[in-house]
């Protein structure tokens, strides 16, 4: 079973590494990190620099495809960057095509979400709707073979769900225990409906600013 995690400059680290940690714990699974070109791919902080060996062209028919997010995805979706073509070409061959956070916008740009329920980071619902999808506030949405997750940390829940479907609940539970995923957030503020309004506004303002910068940058 081959699991491909597609990377691009500006991806959000945990979007990719949450599923990476789960899928690399599955015996028999071959996890491949891939990008447009081999070499260093940096995250949205520019701090986490991954040396990537494989290109999209090396992984044409993965069993599971994972598209992480990042503020830059809105721009990549608009410009139809290389990862969008990769997703569109690989999707007919996958068992599951998945996204974490605003990675959903890449699936949308590849034409996969038209008319379908899907999720993304809560700040991205409008962009997802503009692509013809039906955004919902659920943490993981499985619609046929398309699985989308909410923001950043939700990729862990998505990957465990997909492992449960592909390899059975015992395998998924063994991985959950192996990564001791028994979460105890110190606050109950992890969803827009749970956080205080002023905190939601603070985060939305910050994300809007980041998105404006990304959309205004030269091609």
Q: Is the dihedral of CA 180, 183, 185, 186 positive or negative?
A: negative
End-to-end CA, the chain: 37
Please tell me whether residue 185 binds a copy of itself under the rule CB under 8 A: yes
Please tell me whether residue 108 binds a copy of itself under the rule CB under 8 A: no
**The three-state (H, E, C) secondary structure of 135-162, written as one string:** ECCCCEEEECCEEEECCCCHHHHHHHHH
What would the x/- binding string for a copy of itself be over residues 31 to 70, using CB under 8 A? x-x------x----x-xxxxx-------------------
Tokens 């690399």 map to which residue? Answer: 24
Q: Which of 85, 145, 190, 214 binds a copy of itself (CB under 8 A)?
A: 190
Binding span for a copy of itself by CB under 8 A among 13-21, 60-68, 77-85, 91-99: 13-21
Please tell me whether residue 179 binds a copy of itself under the rule CB under 8 A: yes
Q: Which of 59, 66, 101, 105 binds a copy of itself (CB under 8 A)?
A: 101
Question: Whose CA is closest to 135, among 194, 123, 77, 144?
Answer: 123
Grouping H, G, I as helix, E, B as strand and the rest as coil, residue 30 is strand
Alpha-carbon distance 43 to 118, whole Å?
Answer: 24
Question: Whose CA is closest to 108, among 91, 95, 123?
Answer: 91
- Residues in touch with a copy of itself (CB under 8 A): 12-14, 17-18, 20-21, 24, 31, 33, 40, 45, 47-51, 101, 121-122, 139-140, 150-154, 156-157, 160-161, 164, 169-170, 172-174, 176-187, 189-192, 194-196, 199-200, 202-203, 206-207
Q: Which sequence positions are flagged as catalytic?
A: 101
């Amino acid at each position: 079973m081959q699991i491909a995690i597609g990377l691009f400059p500006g991806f959000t680290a945990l979007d990719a590494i949450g599923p990476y940690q789960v899928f690399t714990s599955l015996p028999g699974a071959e996890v491949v990190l891939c990008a447009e070109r081999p070499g260093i791919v940096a995250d949205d902080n520019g701090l986490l620099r991954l040396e990537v060996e494989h290109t999209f062209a090396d992984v044409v028919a993965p069993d599971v495809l994972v598209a992480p997010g990042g503020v830059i995805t809105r721009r990549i979706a608009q410009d139809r960057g290389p990862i969008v073509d990769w997703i569109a070409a690989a999707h007919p061959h996958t068992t599951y095509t998945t996204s974490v956070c605003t990675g959903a916008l890449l699936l949308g740009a590849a034409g996969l979400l038209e008319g379908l329920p899907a999720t993304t980071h809560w700040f991205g619902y409008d962009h997802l709707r503009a692509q013809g999808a039906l955004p919902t506030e659920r943490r993981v949405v499985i619609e046929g073979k398309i699985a989308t997750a909410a923001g950043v940390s939700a990729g862990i829940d998505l990957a465990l769900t997909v492992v449960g479907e592909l390899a059975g609940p015992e395998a998924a539970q063994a991985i959950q225990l192996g990564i001791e995923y028994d979460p105890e957030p110190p606050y109950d503020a992890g969803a827009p409906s749970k956080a205080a309004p002023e905190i939601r506004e603070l985060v939305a303002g910050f994300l809007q600013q980041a998105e404006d910068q990304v959309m205004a940058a030269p091609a």
